[in-house]
Amino acid sequence: MSQPQFAGIIAYPITPFNADDSLDLPALRAGIDRLIADGVHAIAPLGSTGESAYLSEDEWTAAAEASIRHVAKRVPVVVGISDLTTRNAVRRAQFAEQAGADAVMVLPISYWKLSEQEIFDHYAAIAQAISTPIMVYNNPATSGIDMSPQFIARLVREIDNVTMVKESTGDIQRMHQLRELSNGEIPFYNGSNPLALEAFCAGATGWCTAAPCLIADLTLALYRATQAGALSEARELFYKQLPVLNFILKGGLPTTVKAGLKLQGHDVGAPRRPLQPLSAEQTERLRALLKAVA
DSSP annotation of 169:
S
Nearest distance, CB of residue 66 and a copy of itself, angstroms: 20
Q: Is 239 a catalytic residue?
A: no
Nearest distance, CB of residue 86 and a copy of itself, angstroms: 4
List of residues 6+ apart from 288 with CB closer than 8 A? none
Calculate the dihedral angle through the C-alpha atoms of 77, 15, 121, 137, rounding to the nearest 10 degrees.
70
Q: Is 262 a catalytic residue?
A: no
Residue 39 or residue 194: which is nearer to a copy of itself going by CB? 194
Instruction: Check 54, 111, 113, 137 and give the catalytic one.
Output: 137
Residue 75 or residue 211: which is nearer to a copy of itself going by CB? 211
Q: Which of 206, 204, 207 is nearest to 179 (CA)?
A: 204
> Which residues partner with 209 through β-bridges?
11
Nearest distance, CB of residue 162 and a copy of itself, angstroms: 16
274: preceding bond cis by omega (within 30 degrees) = yes
Task: Give residues in contact with a copy of itself (CB under 8 A).
Answer: 21, 48, 53-54, 84-87, 108, 110-115, 117-119, 121-122, 125, 141-142, 144, 170, 172-173, 176, 179-180, 194-195, 197-198, 201-203, 226, 229-232, 234-235, 239, 242-243, 252-255, 271-276
Q: Helices 231-250 and 212-227, interaxial angle, to 10°?
A: 150
Measured between alpha carbons, how far is 83 from 56 in angstroms, rounded to an integer?
11
Has 255 been labeled as part of a binding site? Answer: no
- Residues with catalytic roles: 137, 166
Q: List, as residue ranges, the binding site for pyruvate.
A: 49
Binding-site residue ranges:
49
